[in-house]
Structure 1
Amino acid sequence: MKTFRRYIFLIICTVFESAVFGCPSSCLCVHPFDYTYCHDKGLATVPSGIYNTTTRLTLHNNSITTLPPNVFERFADLKRLSLNSNKITTLHPNVFQGLAALTKLQLEDNQITAVNGKMFEGLTSLSTLTLDNNPLDCTNCDLEQFKFYLQNNTQLGDTGAMCEGILIINYNFTNCNDSPSETSTVNGIRSDSSSTTKKHLIIGSAVGVVALSVFVIVSIFYFYSYQKRKRIVNRIHVGQN
């Protein structure tokens, strides 16, 4: 009976704290907001109102497709984040920005096609990363960079990420292509460079034309001045004679 009362009391306290301190209605927040459980709720996005001091956030078994940049940035104390079994297709480079305390990140069973090691570089405490059962595009060079990241962070193990049945950490990337974002960036740089070169050519041509015009005008002026002085000198000589 005493155990039952304690259980009821815990439920009441949890509901009260959630109402007072702003726990999302679709989640269960446990005192003192160490854990926030938002799994199995059919969520399409990360709910707002999650307490900043959360150390464990469960979002697995939902219908999340995208994660906005810096969506977890304010959770500086977050240690465990489960995003597995959703419908996530892409990961923004800054999606895990600010999670220096994170030790475990679960991303398995999604629709992720590409990952880049740079998106995990700020996770300095990370010891577990799972990426099993994602349809990774092994022609994308981002995955080769992710391979280098894994080789430099051996504490993560193999992560379960695979290409053609081979773990990425052991896969030989021989025919990878630059990602669309990188290609567009390069093309943008080339375009800007080309535009800048054209501007420089136009400016240079204009300066050249102006300089040539000034030279011609000055030359004509000196020529006529010389001819005028010559005629005056000739007249003086004729008068003397």
Structure 2
Amino acid sequence: MTTPRKGMLDGKSALITGAASGIGRAAALAFAREGAWVAAADLTLEGAQRTVAAIEAQGGEAVAIAVDVTDDAAVKAMVAAAVAAFGGLDCAFNNAGIAPYQLNSAGVPVADMEEPAWARMLDVNLTGVWRCLRHEVAQMRTQGGGAIVNTASIMGLVAGPGAAAYVVSKHGVIGLTKAAALDHAGEGIRVNAVCPGYIETPMTEDTMRRRGERIIGRTALGRMGKPEEIAEAVVWMCSDRASFVTGSAWTVDGGYTAL
């Protein structure tokens, strides 16, 4: 007789932002596969509901939540909704973010960038992560611990042309991750970041059109990554198997930053 496989996240509840597509959707499916109850949050409820439907189709349990991470009250309500659905919050993946093309700033040099685009990028990609983080920590500290992963980027480790605000936001996420890990380790809360390389998602399409050949040429494995490959790293970091891992920025980039 074969012993049923036990998932890495059995009995845990998880909250994922940016869950409608790309890395967030792949992570939501992976968390559910590993036994977690999933609160899938995204800017549009419809997008989150599509991810929930995919989770339920594979036998998992999930709820959809609409959230704007630039709205602190909405973020607080998101965490409360996840807790109401599943009785607590064990894991969180703060993945919601935007790319330069969404602000019409792709390829724009530092000196030519407009302040509204700069401010919007930081509000979503950095301050948005902080808003999520602080409300998640507030819940986890009442439970005696938890695990949080923030989406940074290889652009949080190096820089790229024409993407100054994005680069700054992702460097900031890594700094925030390390600071939070130190601040809350004593409360049993682990905080890490994942640094994806160039992954096959809608957010990378503009960059790959402009610089794809050069990017692939610099990537040691000679290809783009898949959202599922990032999701696997995030699942592991949120599991008890990573119990001695905190304050780290895990690079999953096919060797891009190794060259």
TM-score of the two chains, using structure 1 as the length reference: 0.28
- Using CA pairs under 8 Å that are at least 6 residues apart, name the structure with larger relative contact order, 1 or 2: 2
The structure whose residues are more often strand, as a share, is: 2
> Which structure has the bigger radius of gyration?
1
Relative to the length of structure 2, the TM-score reads 0.26
